[in-house]
Homo-oligomer: A and B are copies of this chain.
Amino acid sequence: MGPGPSNPYPEATEAFTRPMLGHLDPVFLELLDETCDRLRQVWGTENELTLPVSGTGSAGMEAAFVNLVGPGDAVVVGVNGLFGERMCDVAARCGAEVVRVDEPWGQPLIAQHLIEAHPNPKLIAAVHAETSTGVRNDIAAIGALLAEADPQGAAGQRPLLLADCVTSLGGIPVEVDQWGVDVAYAGTQKCLGVAPGLAPFTMNDRATQRRVERPQSWYLDLGMIAQYATTHGARKYHHTAPVAMIISLHAGLGALLDEGIDHAHRRHAECGELLQDGLQAMGLELFAAEGSRLPELTTVWVPDGADDQKVRATLLERYDIEIGGGVGAFAGRVWRIGCMGHTARVANVTLLLAALSEVLGR
């Protein structure tokens, strides 16, 4: 119940035990295609360029920036947590002119501020679910303002909208096409209930047409990767696909789709609400602003008199429950509790609340 990795779906774990397949084996390529199709369903997109990037969520972030941003490109980044900060760092390393739009940690981004920050940026980037603070940023609102300002969009000059969905995909609604998101990435180890190691990724044609021709990263060059990974590619070898991880993702997504995406969202919502109500009933104070709280990641102030590290160590040693500490200025002051993927079960919430109650003596 930390901020990820969550417990994987049993189907995702079982899939690891199947015999190895080559990355050009027709059986594997079929599994890869199905994985990309399943990702399209979860992303709410018809983007052809939808695939698992061969690295963790941060590799997905880097793939987005290196393929879209070159020296001098203006990039507006919403920053209300660690992962917004990270996007600034990644974009700057691409040579971008980074325009930060800060909001206090714990508060949501304000769409209008992002739109007004620069007259004509190439990209506007925001984190959907800030893992560092438990805040949900309203990506749909940013997309709506962009569409309102330039309803055609196809002209190719409307700023591209990038959404970091590492901790949202599979846990709360994500609608890439409907929201007007041009590029997005996620991680497997959060609400998708699969081990860490892949970054589900999607990019629409509008963004693809504005790609950097020769990205500074060879490993994350989507032009080359698409030649291998998409059904319209030539199946041209780029790098060896992380076969076992992809087969596990395929199975995890299968479990999610069998349950139904809407049902999974309701399950996450229910667990989050139970947890947040329970913590408040115990007299604890939630960190994230009301109205912008993620169900899958709850942040709560460490109560006066409690020893952050000792409480977490006791939870881990006595109850086998991991919860996360705060980061940045909130290290030692905040706990981050995940209810993601297979971990998002009522019984887990009940157990954590009871254990925390014992440890804190509340």
Contact = CB atoms under 8 A, between A and B. Distances in A.
Interface of A: 2, 4-8, 13-14, 16-17, 19-25, 54-59, 61-62, 86, 89-90, 93-94, 187, 189, 195-197, 214-219, 237-245, 248, 316, 322, 324, 327
A218 B20 contact: no
B93 A216 contact: yes
30 contacts: A2-B22, A5-B22, A5-B23, A5-B243, A6-B20, A16-B17, A20-B195, A22-B322, A22-B324, A54-B56, A55-B219, A56-B240, A56-B242, A58-B218, A58-B238, A59-B219, A61-B219, A62-B217, A62-B218, A62-B219, A86-B218, A93-B218, A189-B240, A189-B243, A195-B243, A195-B244, A195-B245, A196-B242, A216-B217, A244-B248
A322 B327 CA distance: 48
A187 B187 CA distance: 22
Among A214, A219, A245, the one with the most B-chain Cβ atoms within 10 Å of its Cβ is A219
Nearest to A60: B219
B196 A243 contact: yes
Among A5, A14, A23, A57, the one with the most B-chain Cβ atoms within 10 Å of its Cβ is A5
Contacts of A21: 5
Those 5 A-B pairs whose CB atoms lie nearest each other, nearest first: A16-B16, A197-B242, A195-B244, A58-B239, A62-B219
Contacts of A216: 93-94, 216-217
A232 to B, nearest CB: 20
A234 to B, nearest CB: 12
A89 to B, nearest CB: 6
B56 A218 contact: no
B244 A16 contact: yes
Contact of A218 (B7, B8, B90): B90
Given A54-B59, A56-B239, A322-B25, A215 B93 contact: yes
